[in-house]
Amino acid sequence: MKMNIQLFAVPFRRTSKTKKRMRRTHLKKEVGTITTCPKCGAPLRPHRACTKCGYYKGKEVINTNNEEK
């Protein structure tokens, strides 16, 4: 009878909760830079037009009038 035995690398010990958590201390989501709109003070990503008032660098670049629809 032919035996089909596959060998895998099996971890000798299960990684403990502490060891796992210590390793993952470096894995975290970075909080992006947030500035505030100089016109309306809304939180804003840098180099993006304001979503509230549509202004960027002192000029209105997005039409925020709610006329459409």
Selected binder of Zn ion within 22, 40, 61, 62 (CB under 5 A): 40
DSSP character at residue 15: P
Q: Does 53 sit near Zn ion (CB under 5 A)? A: yes
Q: Between 22 and 40, whose beta carbon lies closer to Zn ion?
A: 40
Distance CA(56)–CA(24), nearest Å, equals: 39
Q: Does 56 sit near Zn ion (CB under 5 A)? A: no
CB 46 within 8 A of CB 56: no
Secondary structure of residue 34 in the 3-state scheme: coil
Residues that bind Zn ion (CB under 5 A): 37, 39-40, 42, 50, 52-53
